[in-house]
Structure 1
């Protein structure tokens, strides 16, 4: 079998490894190298690094609008093209090139959380379950029929980073199962997505990370988990801007103004919210490193004064 793989970030690497296990990946498409780091030097994507290490040819077109880009893909004679967080929309003329079309590994239970940030949106919304769908791609954004899916529970304290890693591994297992069936010429029956329950997972914006103490504590706790490790929740704490890496919601009743510090102890720093209390457990001062609430209080021992 001849497989072409298209992906860019770390999330796609386990799927590339699963696809390449038998040496069947004949080409890898990934985003062009981008400036990164303090020196702003051109940096290859995690998928490119994995492909180069495996000796797989790498292609990095800006898009697929040119006849040359389509001809290069056609020359690879793919049986199937696997797409995982590639970052480019593929026109129908590209979707039609592989014998079995293009498969997309998507980190949600479609049609819920179509789009760019399904992992973080699921946590921020308080979802208790998510999963991975292997979808037959069509022109619409994550609208294609589902070939295989697998659900998992979201842990009550699970962060965006932790769920990202679990779903990346789950996606690789789902993809491996589908490729095994394709090798055995067992075509997966496509299941159309239901029209009800469509929700879009819009791309994350750093401005969303600013917490509003007037919101319920449960909502803010979910945001803290969702935005760890990026963009990381931030808020004003007794006149100081801090980033918050871990927090828990308490159903404590109070009459204090949102943002007021109610208590500060080894257990955490309790902040009044519009409803309930948010207990800060791990936070970061300007220019510092993430520390426990206890270490933070050692530096600001007069927080309640």
Structure 2
């Protein structure tokens, strides 16, 4: 039994920071080092951006390391010298070689935002929403050399609600994951046996990384599918369509499914066609059903209701216009 574990924490985005925050403030364990991805250039001005985890670690004066790769003799030696009891990995973004996985007394554990083996990979939250899953959760696994395929130590389930965006689900899972991590670490430090089980490879699915080009709305999909994309891509990369005559992309922040009106479908059969506009929104024909756009954003402008956009830009959204 150990009163306190010596922990190396490896993570990069805000999701990881919330776990690091909880470890730092609410556990008795000692964070001896923080590993995060190197600073990256972002935005039109190509400013150097620090990761959310690095910002927190700097504030708390935790030792920070940002190697380009963990598979170097220098990094392996650094980690070995720290003599960690365990390495905690949350959305780190770099592969961890087997030699490092085997260094700590209790190995390396990973907090993953899905019910593994479903949605292994980089974007489990978004892919679960896009697929129309009714639930997801947090999995804590003993890491091996394959991506998100280690034995499952602990799982917590979480419902996905109809109005959930990635941000809403992300926040719930971060809270659940951080508390689950505390429980797992406390059990390990107390010497309690954590019963694990292997993943069923037959049930595995892969959550590939989200790309900006996916955010362009495909009007041939059903209204139900498009709404899922809108929710999944909020807050990033945000779904959008193009006004052809303006050569302008309009972001869709929120949308709703409307029941199919056969007279509208007969009049406007091509997906992407604006079928009607009113104070409730802008109605667009899809491959199956009518989609009502309710919150929109022009480039460089604030988010507004469709009603407000129609008040100033009604000629942009005349029924019969085809959105791209």
Compute the TM-score of the two structures, normalised by the length of structure 1.
0.96
Number of residue pairs matched by the alignment: 305
Alignment of 1:76-155 (within 5 A): 76-155=82-161
Change in 2 beyond 3 A, CA 1:293/1:277: same
Residues 215-251 of structure 1: per-residue CA shift (max 9 Å, x gap): 1110000000000111110113574531101001123
Q: Which runs of 4+ in 1 moved over 6 A?
A: none
Alignment of 1:169-188 (within 5 A): 169-188=175-194
Change in 2 beyond 3 A, CA 1:238/1:247: farther
> 1:193 is matched with which residue?
199
RMSD after superposition: 1.4
Take 1:135 and 1:29, find their aligned partners in 2: how far apart are those partners?
19
Q: CA deviation at 1:26?
A: 0.6
**1:203 and 2:209 aligned:** yes
Q: CA deviation at 1:84?
A: 0.4
Residues 264-287 of structure 1: per-residue CA shift (max 9 Å, x gap): 111111100110011101011233
Q: CA deviation at 1:19?
A: 2.4
> 1:251 is matched with which residue?
259
> SS of the counterpart of 1:182?
helix
> 1:304 is matched with which residue?
318
Take 2:127 and 2:6, find their aligned partners in 1: how far apart are those partners?
35
Judge conservation of contact 1:3–1:19 (CA < 8 Å) in 2. Answer: no
Change in 2 beyond 3 A, CA 1:131/1:15: same
Q: CA deviation at 1:198?
A: 0.9
Take 1:160 and 1:121, find their aligned partners in 2: how far apart are those partners?
10
Take 2:299 and 2:14, find their aligned partners in 1: how far apart are those partners?
28
Take 2:58 and 2:157, find their aligned partners in 1: how far apart are those partners?
32
What are the ranges of 5 or more consecutive residues in structure 2 without an aligned counterpart? 320-324
Judge conservation of contact 1:18–1:175 (CA < 8 Å) in 2. Answer: no
> SS of the counterpart of 2:314?
coil
Take 1:238 and 1:62, find their aligned partners in 2: how far apart are those partners?
42
Judge conservation of contact 2:7–2:29 (CA < 8 Å) in 1. Answer: no
Q: CA deviation at 1:193?
A: 0.7
Q: Alignment partner for residue 67 of structure 1, among 55, 73, 78?
A: 73
Take 1:33 and 1:287, find their aligned partners in 2: how far apart are those partners?
26
Once the two structures are overlaid, the 10-residue window that deviates more, 225-234 or 22-31, is 22-31
**1:14 and 2:18 aligned:** yes
Judge conservation of contact 1:238–1:260 (CA < 8 Å) in 2. Answer: no
Residues 134-153 of structure 1: per-residue CA shift (max 9 Å, x gap): 01100011110110010111
Compute the TM-score of the two structures, normalised by the length of structure 2.
0.91
